[in-house]
Chain A
Amino acid sequence: GNSVTQMEGPVTLSEEAFLTINCTYTATGYPSLFWYVQYPGEGLQLLLKATKADDKGSNKGFEATYRKETTSFHLEKGSVQVSDSAVYFCMNTGFQKLVFGTGTRLLVSP
């Protein structure tokens, strides 16, 4: 079946630091992979996605590459801002079953 494993948080960084949030997956079939972000008091918003192996999703300075050989979809950003403080969820789809990771809280200090 499908599963997602995310690194546990919180991840605490200073502004302008490099960010990596790890996500690995298992899946049957050919899943699409997503990163969602949840700001305080809000629902989840799509951050980026990749639908096939070697695709790179990118948005707002965030990037993630769909790596089939390592079954990974790690989220990266070169220089984080205080406004990036939020909870980030990795998601995997395969055969119509959607699976979310447990979420990783990012805290960015000035």
Chain B
Amino acid sequence: EADIYQTPRYLVIGTGKKITLECSQTMGHDKMYWYQQDPGMELHLIHYSYGVNSTEKGDLSSESTVSRIRTEHFPLTLESARPSHTSQYLCASSVYNEQFFGPGTRLTVL
């Protein structure tokens, strides 16, 4: 069974705080992705990685950063959260183009 985990599931924080959204997978997949999902449901790719020490920006400009020090771990960091960062964040890993998604983190910045 595919296992990909995201924590926290829900986060409410104040403006200016630094936060890290965690994503881990136990499948040994090299490719991992972060998506931002707006209230209208559309998915926007914000970061991806094809392996350890590889990170790239996606199609949607984002003020977040990512790191990939270990295959199983792909955290996303916001240095200074703003209300415009309020959204649902989905992490995924893939093999042979099939994507496996985590449950998502719903972030609210006040």
Q: Which residues of A contact B (CB under 8 A)?
A: 32, 34, 36, 38, 41-46, 49, 87, 89, 91, 93, 96, 98, 100, 102-103, 105
Q: Can you name the residue of chain A whose Cβ is closest to the Cβ of B100?
A: A46
B6, B42, B97, B99: residue with the most chain A Cβ atoms closer than 10 Å: B97
Q: From DSSP, what is the main secondary structure of chain A's interface residues?
A: strand
Task: Tell me the residues in window 96-110 of chain B with beta carbons closer than 8 Å to chain A beta carbons.
Answer: 97-104
B90 at interface by CB-CB < 8 Å: yes
Question: Which of B94, B98, B100 has most chain A Cβ within 10 Å?
Answer: B98
Contact size class for B?
10 to 19
Interface residues of B (CB under 8 A from A): 6, 33, 40-43, 45, 90, 92, 94, 97-104
Q: Which of B40, B94, B97, B104 makes the CB contact (< 8 A) with A43?
A: B104
- Asked whether, in the complex, the Cβ of B42 is within 8 Å of the Cβ of A102, the reply is yes
The interface centre, meaning the residue of A38, A44, A91, A96 with most chain B CB atoms within 10 A of its CB, is A44
Q: Is the Cβ of A42 less than 8 Å from the Cβ of B104?
A: yes
Expressed in whole angstroms, the minimum distance between the Cβ of B96 and any Cβ of chain A is 8
CA distance A43 to B2 in the complex (A): 13
Minimum Cβ distance to chain A for residue B19 (Å) = 19
Q: Which of A87, A93, A105 counts the most chain B CB atoms within 10 A?
A: A93
In the complex, what residues of B have CB within 8 A of residue A36's CB?
A: 99, 101
Partner of B103, one of A43, A91, A93: A43
Contact A42 B103 (CB under 8 A): yes
Q: Which of A38, A46, A103 contacts B98 (CB 8 A)?
A: A46
Residue of B at shortest CB range from A100?
B43
Most buried by A among B40, B41, B90: B41
CA distance A43 to B98 in the complex (A): 14
Given the complex of chains A and B, what is the CA–CA distance between A103 and B42 in angstroms? 6
Q: Judge whether A32 and B97 touch: CB under 8 Å.
A: yes
Task: Choose from B40, B42, B90, B97 the contact partner of A44 (Cβ within 8 Å).
Answer: B90
> Please, how many angstroms separate the alpha-carbon atoms of A38 and B33 in the complex?
17
